[in-house]
Amino acid sequence: MAVQIPYRRELEFGYGAMSRLGPRIRRVIADNPSPFTLYGTGTYILGNGEVAVIDPGPADPAHIDALLRAVEGETITHVLVTHTHTDHSPGCALLKAHSDAPTYAYGPHGAGKLEEGVPVEEGGDMDFEPDHQIRHGDVIEGGDWSVECVYTPGHTSNHMCFQLREDKALFTGDHVMGWSTSIISPPDGDMAAYMRSLELLLQRDDAVYWPTHGPCIDDPKPLVQAFIEHRREREAQILECVGRGVGNIREMVPIMYTSTPEFMYPAAGRSVLAAVEYLVQKGELVSAGPISLDGSYRLP
Ligand SMILES: [Zn+2]
């Protein structure tokens, strides 16, 4: 691939232990490592005394205990949720048993797609319903912190980033991570929305990103730019495959993902499907029938 994405994976931490990352930022990482979560879900704590929590994580009592230990003697006043994948939001229900703090999110799983008339009924935490629905530009204020909500659909249709305004620090959830591209899996995942949400970040002046998974990103714009160029390369690869007569996604994946282990092919296929959907929307590809993994595609 021509585009080099400046990945970083190194991170010093211990499961169950709280790391202080700045005067207003702390993090506890859940013990749910995987090829999709790297070391696990990073739950952030904003402020001191009266704090906000971002993404309580999976339904893991040990992680919620660790989070409560980290804020002992303090009060959780707000629970912010970037999106409703099962490694991010199910911990809210466990936390409710220990805290009265209301939850804030764009909406339940699939909310952004439902507004477009597309129901999304799988692949997420279907039980989560936020106490407060938030929208782009909303500001949430607490003890010694304030947060701006930045709507960034693409990875999911309800994905929100949160900027800690005092630090110009953007909590990017799974929208931008320093160690991996984001999975864009239709129908809830949407490549056109994802690309717009990347462009949106280029217009902003965030100083640092704190993704849910992996280390912080202290020079964010070159990384965002690289992700945009990487997706454009993927689009070019798809058009090249189709131009050579490979019009089926399952056949494209091994050609396009030469350095990806085979067990990741299903996830890669979902990303190709998202890119194909985007190319059809743009009129650069024609689909013989409904757009799906088994569909067949040709150049216009
Ligand atoms: Zn996710």
CA of 45 to the centre of ligand 1 (A): 19
Helix (H) or strand (E) holding 208: strand 208-211
CA of 88 to the centre of ligand 1 (A): 7
Q: What is the mean pLDDT of the chain?
A: 95
CA of 99 to the centre of ligand 1 (A): 24
| Half-sphere exposure in the Cβ direction for 9 (13 Å, CA) | 10
CA distance to 106, 129, 187, 222, 231, per residue, from 113 (Å): 12, 16, 8, 30, 22
CA of 85 to the centre of ligand 1 (A): 5
Give the SS3 label for residue 66: helix
- What tens digit of pLDDT does each residue of 225-234 get? 999 999 999 9
109: its two tokens: 């799983």
CA of 252 to the centre of ligand 1 (A): 24
Residue 249 scores a pLDDT above 80: yes
Is residue 213 exposed (0-12), middle (13-18) or buried (19+ Cβ within 10 Å)?
buried
Over the Cα atoms of the chain, what is R_g?
19
CA of 267 to the centre of ligand 1 (A): 13
Report residue 3's pLDDT band, with 50, 70 and 90 as the boundaries. Answer: confident
**What global pTM score does this model have?**
0.95
Angle at 185 between CA 153 and CA 277, to 5 degrees: 90
CA of 239 to the centre of ligand 1 (A): 28
CA of 159 to the centre of ligand 1 (A): 9
Given this model, what pLDDT does residue 117 score?
86
Cβ within 8 Å of residue 73, ≥6 positions away: none
Angle at 255 between CA 251 and CA 259, to 5 degrees: 130
Q: Between 1 and 201, where is the model more confident?
A: 201
CA distance to 186, 223, 250, per residue, from 46 (Å): 32, 25, 43
CA of 174 to the centre of ligand 1 (A): 5
CA of 124 to the centre of ligand 1 (A): 9
- What tens digit of pLDDT does each residue of 83-121 get? 999 999 999 999 999 999 999 999 999 999 988 888 887
CA of 35 to the centre of ligand 1 (A): 12
* β-bridge pairing 297-298 and 208-211: unpaired
φ and ψ at residue 135, rounded to 5 degrees:
-130, 165
- What tens digit of pLDDT does each residue of 55-75 get? 999 999 999 999 999 999 999
* Residues belonging to the chain: 300
CA of 256 to the centre of ligand 1 (A): 23
